[in-house]
Structure 1
Amino acid sequence: MKNYKIILCTFLLLPLMVLSQEKKKDSIVDKPSRPAFESATLIDNATDVLFNKNTLEVMMQHRFGEINGGTNDLAGFWGASNIRIALSYALHDRLTVGFGTTKEGRLQDFNWKVGLLRQTRSDKTPLNISYYGNFTIDARPGNRFYTKQDRYSYFHQIIFSRRFSPNVSFQIAPSISHYNTVESFMENDRFAIAFGGRAKISPQTSILLDYSQPITQFKNVTEADGSITNYNHPGISLGVEFGTSNHAFQLFITNFRGIVPQQNYMKTTNDFFNGDFLIGFNITRNYNF
């Protein structure tokens, strides 16, 4: 009789033991996957990366002059440069806010990023989805603007990313740029889509690709000397990234001279395939509090 009681208790407890093990297994497997990218920026576009709460990111972005900008420019190093210095702070694991100032145009941008969906290790959720946006003020002095609102521009982007493996990640990011005031041949809004990827070639080194394609088309402009200016060229950026847990350095070539995204999408006239590209770098450093 005693043996029967032991067997009966074992059968009664077995489902609870199995269920407990399955729950424990699911809780481990279904944790969020690691971010698809190392840095919050993929050369010219934002990524899915959101830092832990109370993390401060300090960023410096630099663009030298165009390589074909002159005969005595030393590949653009002696030409006019563009620089942005920015800070961003993680108020929550899924919410980051920041501020940056850019040399060209004296642009002051207030930006934010929100994590909407996170890829899980079990692939039950196969994608990361994030929203990035900014509000930018052109702070140049003078009477170039009729009203204060003419200085304002906005940018909104939804980022779909996936970490296919520890070494390969990819993202697609549709966006809309808006300027309150534009030239007569432009529209106030421009839709665009960006494609970006990262391939790790060593534990600290990755190859980066960032491609930005305008969808809304603007008319070509005929200049006084008869030349044609085209505002519909895609942005093409190729580079390498060296990263650690709290630091990332990206070195690249790009035809985007601007750094604030709506400036790139709306006002770029450089043709990458015509040699209108430049050397740039991004440096980030994170501080945890």
Structure 2
Amino acid sequence: MKRIFTLARLALGLAAVLVPGLARAQDLMQQLNKLSADSLRLSLVQATFKGTRVINGQSIETPGAGTLVFLISHRFGALNSGAYNFFGLDQATIRLGLEYGITDRLAVGVGRSSMEKTFDGFAKYRLLRQSTGAGAMPLSVTLLATTALTSLEFQPQSERTGVSRLTYTYQALLARKFSPSLSVQLMPTLVHRNYVDLRRDQNNVYAVGAAARQKLTKRFALTGEYYYLLPGATADNFRNSLALGFDIETGGHVFQLHVTNSPGMIEKFFIPQTTGNFFKGDIFFGFNISRAFQLGGRRP
């Protein structure tokens, strides 16, 4: 009988040791299974850029389904225009724009610039979206097509009527968010102008743009943008567009301050028509303000 009690004590002792161990092992297995499931779940990368514009050019971002964005873009005159023009503050150009997300992938927009009294419109489609998890996409790709119509009066009028006033721009925007703080974008670009002043001028202008955003704090980020004109008559007579600035996030607003050598705020102007030398004081201070309004329910 004494032997039986001794064996029972040993069995109870082993159970007291093994059962908690088994429970811990089961908990650990459940955690591993959860981590494995999370790693396999496809997750879209958000906020590669905070706004639909980097500075002058567009980013891969779209407003989202049912969202209307009102955008004010403003450029003062050149910093080296002297004290008489209050270093550019007496001279200014402006663009007012509206952008609407038809779906989370497709957006359209319209705008009016004071420069050459230009109307513009665009369509933007998010072809690929960067993601993490199983079958992850390493980058985002957005396709952009824009049209610009100059309504400025020309003399003689007969030379600039109808389709001769139109300029088209086509871009593939390729971006990757390398970390929560750093995003980079490349923009191969074609600008087609129906009318050029001289026979030697190019109707088709090719360029490659690069942009980056470095987040400094939760609400502040540095931005930069550069467009390189491929060799040709346009590159010989005009300069590459350069812009530097920073973003300020304030709730539903995104406030962007920047300096650039391009007074124009749409692709028709800042890609093939930039004349300013950034490093000789041809610097235009400006800002973009965007405000988003949710007009309808979000759709996939």
When normalised by structure 1's length, the TM-score is 0.85
Q: 1:11 maps to which residue?
A: none
| Other-structure match for 2:298 | none
**How much has 1:207 moved relative to structure 2?**
0.6
Q: Name the amino acid aligned to 1:39.
A: G
1:25 Cα offset (Å): 2.5
Structure 2 residue identity aligned to 1:162: R
Written as runs of structure 1 = structure 2, the 5 A alignment for 1:52-91 is: 52-79=64-91, 81-91=92-102
Q: Secondary structure at the match of 1:145?
A: helix
Paired amino acid for 2:257:
L
Per-residue CA shift, 1:58-78, capped at 9, x if unaligned? 000001001112341222101
Distance 1:23 1:131 in 2: 34
Q: Where does 1:62-141 land on structure 2 (aligned, <5 Å)? A: 62-79=74-91, 81-122=92-133, 124-141=136-153
Q: What letter corresponds to residue 38 of structure 2 in structure 1?
A: K
Distance 1:55 1:27, change over 3 A: farther
Answering whether residue 175 of structure 2 is matched by residue 187 of structure 1, we say no
Letter in 2 for 1:25: D
278-287 or 267-276, larger mean C-alpha shift: 267-276
Q: Secondary structure at the match of 1:105?
A: helix
Distance in 1 between residues matched to 2:129 and 2:250, nearest whole Å: 22
Q: Is the 8 A contact 2:205 2:234 kept in 1?
A: no
Structure 2 CA distance for aligned equivalents of residues 264 and 193 of structure 1:
13
Q: Displacement, 1:138?
A: 0.7
Amino acid at match of 1:249: F
**8 Å contact 1:231–1:266 — kept in the other structure?**
no
Same amino acid, percent of matched pairs: 26
Q: Deviations over 1:2-24 (max 9, x none)?
A: xxxxxxxxxxxxxxx99x96884
Residue 243 of structure 1: how far off its partner (Å): 1.2
| More divergent stretch after superposition (175-184 vs 260-269) | 260-269
Deviation at 1:129, TM superposition (A): 0.4
The answer on whether the counterparts of 1:217 and 1:232 sit within 8 Å (CA) in structure 2 is no
State which structure, 1 or 2, has the greater radius of gyration over its C-alpha atoms: 2
Which structure has more helix as a fraction of its residues? 2
Distance, in Å, in 2 between the alignment partners of 1:34 and 1:219 is: 37
| Structure 1 equivalent of residue 252 of structure 2 | 246
Question: 1:231 and 1:250 mapped to 2: Cα distance?
Answer: 30
Of 43, 51, 57, which aligns to 2:63?
51
SS in structure 1 at match of 2:85 = coil
Q: Give me the whole-angstrom Cα distance separating, in 2, the residues matched to 1:231 and 1:242.
A: 35
Displacement of 1:92 in angstroms is 0.6
Aligned residues between the structures: 261
Structure 2 unmatched runs, 5+: 1-29, 296-300
Matched, 1:164 2:178: yes
4+ residue runs over 6 A deviation? none
Partners of 1:171 and 1:196 within 8 A in 2: yes
Gaps of 5+ in 1: 1-16, 221-229
1:25 corresponding residue in structure 2? 38
2:75 aligned partner, one-letter code: R
What one-letter code is carried by the residue in structure 2 that aligns with 1:51? Answer: P
Tell me which of 267, 270, 285 is aligned to 2:273: 267
Is contact 1:54-1:91 (8 Å) kept? yes
Q: Distance in 2 between matches of 1:136 and 1:247?
A: 26
Q: TM-score, normalised by structure 2?
A: 0.82
